[in-house]
Amino acid sequence: MEETRREQERTECDIILNKVENGNRNICRATNISLSGMQLMRLLEPHRKSDEDASALRLQFTLPGQPEPLDVKAERIYDCEDGLVGVRFVNISHQHFVLLRDWLREQSISSIPVFREKAAS
């Protein structure tokens, strides 16, 4: 497997989510998450030899303690026979990005920058 450098620090999590790939919906468990992606564990889904056309995914999940579900487009980075799947977020709405960023900040990831609006002079 080619080593891919992570852009963001990850935090451990236990989130059940829907993964939609090639029209097939499967339930997965996220084991860690960052602003740029997450690691999934396949549940009851067989490992399939992946092809390049099957790397586009849609993920639907709710962050613990949050009422609003997130809908994110992602691409598969790796898919191991042991059931672990790494994904990178490729399309997330600004609103969902802010929800994810704030949730991660609450989980004590100190490297997430805080953006403040400039005070009006």
Helices (H) and strands (E) in the chain, counts: 1, 6
C-alpha span between 84 and 82 (Å, rounded) = 6
Phi first, then psi: give them for residue 78, nearest 5 degrees: -150, 155
User: Quick check: 3 pLDDT over 50?
Assistant: no
Instruction: List, in order of start, the domains of the chain with CATH numbers.
Output: 11-46+53-106 (2.40.10.220)
Across 76-92, average pLDDT:
92
Q: How many CA atoms lie within 13 A of 42 on its CB side?
A: 18
3-class DSSP state of 20: strand
Q: Is the pTM here over 0.85, yes or no?
A: no
Mean pLDDT of 75-84: 90
Return the residue matching tokens 């999934």: 40
Per the model's pLDDT, the better-predicted residue between 80 and 89 turns out to be 89
